[in-house]
Amino acid sequence: VELIQIRSTVLTPGQSLTLTCKVSGYSVTDSSYCTDWIRQPAGKTLEWVGEICYDGNSYYSEKLKSRFQVTRDTSSNTVTLTGQNMQTEDTAVYYCAPEFQSFQPSQSLIMGLSVIQQCIFILMLAQGGLCVELIQTGSTVLTPGQSLTLTCKVSGYSLTDSSYCTGWIRQPAGKTLEWIGHICSSGGTDHSEKLKSRFQVTRDTSSSTVTLTGQNMQTEDTAVYYCARDS
């Protein structure tokens, strides 16, 4: 996981949302692709919001099309999701992902989450929270009892910057986000009481990386793991 950017987003019901996805690995005008926005409320399944295709045409969920719009900027290769009159039920993890034109939407939605690069936005409405933009570069398959190592390449700030800590969180399928631990500018660490016996967060300041290691991994550790900056 490579941390590209993080910013705080606090919305109250009725406000507007703007999320911008910087596409890499393909052009937004490439005829092989559309670029989709989907979301996953905590404990619920993925929900398709809308997409914009290489020709500039956009398509939307019937349920959401009155409030959401997907646009693009070909000069910066970005795709933007805007939402109007946001409500607490819009709280979700928002994903930007490529859709291959050679597949049906239901198939490409699944494939799009695991290929090229994906931007992941964590939005919490009316509660404060983080809007985290990540690029995920791969997946890891383990058998029970094995060890896990995940490394996050940080950019946009220094690991020794006194304003920040860098942490790891995870989200098992159908469950809420769970904090694992973080490492701060001083090198000090803090970990979840539940997980501290098996997980450790370390850093390498020379390469601006933060590593999560886990011991004796079990099936209940299956999750999407994120690295994020704590302000």
2-135: CATH number: 2.60.40.10
Equal fold, 2-135 vs 148-230: yes
pLDDT band of 157, cuts 50, 70, 90: confident
pLDDT band of 87, cuts 50, 70, 90: confident
pLDDT value at position 58? 93
Give percent above pLDDT 90 in the chain: 23
Token pair, residue 153, equals: 């390449």
Q: Cα torsion for 129, 135, 137, 143, to the nearest 10°?
A: 10
pLDDT value at position 67? 96
Token pair, residue 4, equals: 């590209």
pLDDT digits (tens, 9 = 90+) for 171-220: 777 777 788 999 999 999 999 999 999 999 999 999 888 899 999 988 88
Positive/negative CA dihedral, 141, 144, 145, 150: positive
CATH classification for the domain delimited by 148-230, as one of 3.40.1280.10, 2.60.40.10, 3.20.20.190, 3.20.20.70? 2.60.40.10
Give me the residue spans of the domains in the chain: 2-135, 148-230
Helix (H), strand (E) at residue 71: strand 68-73
Token pair, residue 132, equals: 């985290």
8 Å CB contact between 97 and 81:
no
pTM for the structure as a whole: 0.50
